[in-house]
Chain A
Amino acid sequence: ELKVEQNPLFLSMQEGKNYTIYCNYSTTSDRLYWYRQDPGKSLESLFVLLSNGAVKQEGRLMASLDTKARLSTLHITAAVHDLSATYFCAVDIVRYGGSQGNLIFGKGTKLSVKP
């Protein structure tokens, strides 16, 4: 059974600081996604990582994937209040002979950025 573990689950940061969220998964996969969810809202796609060594950056967020270590990281640089949200990683299980499979989500990391 595929397990996806995120840590930390809760993160309180001060503005301007850097931090990293970790996502470990238990089986082979070369597709990993990061999503953001604001309170009471739906999920917004942040990054799609499709190969070992993939690195994507958008603003103050940078995501990377190490498929050999089964680890993805989401690095936050110089945090600002607007980044406060819950961040989910999700790993793809490819099934059905070539079509995209199902995503197994981590439990999410609730990030709070304080002035």
Chain B
Amino acid sequence: EAQVTQNPRYLITVTGKKLTVTCSQNMNHEYMSWYRQDPGLGLRQIYYSMNVEVTDKGDVPEGYKVSRKEKRNFPLILESPSPNQTSLYFCASRRKFETEAFFGQGTRLTVV
């Protein structure tokens, strides 16, 4: 089954404790992105990647890192999480010349 898989689905952590949210897609998509969803603000792009070893900042990249060492994986790293990073995070992927983006089920992160 074609899908985008994020882990974990839920995470509660403390300020300053490094964490990684994993994202994997099995559709051989070139493009992958991370978004955060906050009430009243919709989906805002954090980082994106056009292919292996090619990443760039989206609209709200501060406090986040990403890597794209393999085509299927695009982890989101929070080196020192802060409470303002409490949010619902989505990973998405799509083919280079197609419009439909496929989203993961989301990761709800709470930083206390």
Do A and B truly interact? no
